[in-house]
Structure 1
């Protein structure tokens, strides 16, 4: 596996992120950090980890944004699978081992591995846990990213065939990629693999309007049928409501209500 980590001033979250990856690297794995000339001390943290981690490569250079940084790291990758981990997120303990075991049991390798994920706050507290679900075009158009890029592996050769991450996108390149991967051969791992950290300085935490604009563009260009048009319009409206209520939805009260509703909505056996 090749772990791609774009980094720009990750601050206090960088160390825990690196720990979550480095401690799980196997002999054939690698970690490629693409640092966009961080100025907050992240460079020194990266140097310390790289000095004791032979399979870690740190590249410092100016880039054109997160998608460009990922594509630069992708060109250096040599693993069969790519795992994208942002520098403020986490790979959960045991995730690499679970994925390796899942792949070794299969006669033919899938294009995509999708796991469950957690939403955590700035202090690491679990806000919500989302189950693993196969990528489905219709559902993605309506719901957006119900999967998490940090809990998803993609075959490197397929990612290269898709020309990597869309450079014209700065906030929803993960959503765009999931729509492209929905037709690929997938394996769902029924346990959480990664954690998305939600905090004020993160893209998810502070740039809702820009997320909305790019999300609407990706939905529209991802349509294929008349039904997709309806789904894209409904998804855009749903996204607008989500942006307006983001802080409420990521709070503990909403999470408790959501879990209670989900339990009641589960179909009986």
Structure 2
């Protein structure tokens, strides 16, 4: 592991048309040293060819090709191959500002108690862009919902310590569960006071596909099974389908002598 090196892990599944824009945004960063790990996750478009082309043009870029296994597995492949002290997971159609990585690394280097650094964000599409209104971070708020997008910087050692992203979480929001694993036993979070991340909205966005009521029920059941201790600590019991009411409902049940 090289101290100070940032490994940007970019999983890509059929995002070839956006991949060069994503890579160029990282290469425009004011921070060095960098490595970019492009993990082609069994794409059926020209993603692999485009990734290989970028690898030939830029010495910082390294391509890993694997059969399709889902975004969590692709991220984990990249994290395992990463040689850097710090990791930035970044999806293959999103972009970052030129200052984001440098400012985030500065915080992580100066403050060892901080585990995760992220920033303000924008959602964009061909129709334009709009601010992404992220809720303030706290562990109690994290127990109810996620406010840290996947493209946050952290130490590789912290990702390794929790086994990376959970590859058996097939109902979406793997990043939420990842941050719970990273933070539930301690560690501070810093949000930088500027827009440094740009989240692309596309018609086939996974976020839309995993936003159904059934997927939400599956997700809540998975989280409760895996992190019962965390929800007990923050919500006085399990996460409920009406998530914002979880703590009040659990407290009422406890007061009534029920669980």
Shorter chain as normaliser: what TM range? Answer: 0.7 to 0.9
**Distance in structure 2 (CA, Å) of the matches to 1:73 and 1:15:** 18
Q: 2:86 aligns with which of 81, 86, 91?
A: 81
The question of 1:52 aligning with 2:54 is answered: no
Contact 2:104 2:153 in 1 (8 A): no
Number of the residue aligned with 2:175: 174
1:196 Cα offset (Å): 1.7
**Pairing 1:160–2:163 present:** no
In structure 2, stretches of 5+ residues that fail to align are 1-5, 246-259
* Structure 1 match to 2:189: 186
- 2:240 aligns to what? 233
Structure 1: unaligned runs, 5 residues or longer: 239-269
Aligned alpha-carbon RMSD (Å): 2.5
Question: Which position in structure 2 is the counterpart of 1:200?
Answer: 203
Q: 1:132 to 1:194 in 2, by over 3 A?
A: farther
Deviation at 1:125?
Answer: 2.0
- Residue 35 of structure 1: how far off its partner (Å): 0.3
Distance 1:202 1:131, change over 3 A: closer
Higher strand proportion (structure 1 or 2) = 2
1:141 to 113, 129, 143: 143
CA contact (8 A) 2:107 2:117 kept: no
Higher helix share: 1
Structure 1 residue 176 displacement after superposition: 0.1
Per-residue deviation, 1:179: 1.4
Q: CA deviation at 1:234?
A: 5.5
Alpha carbons 2:139, 2:234 under 8 Å: kept: no
TM-score by length of 1: 0.77
Alignment partners' CA distance in 1, 2:78 and 2:88 = 11
- The number of residues matched between the two structures is 233
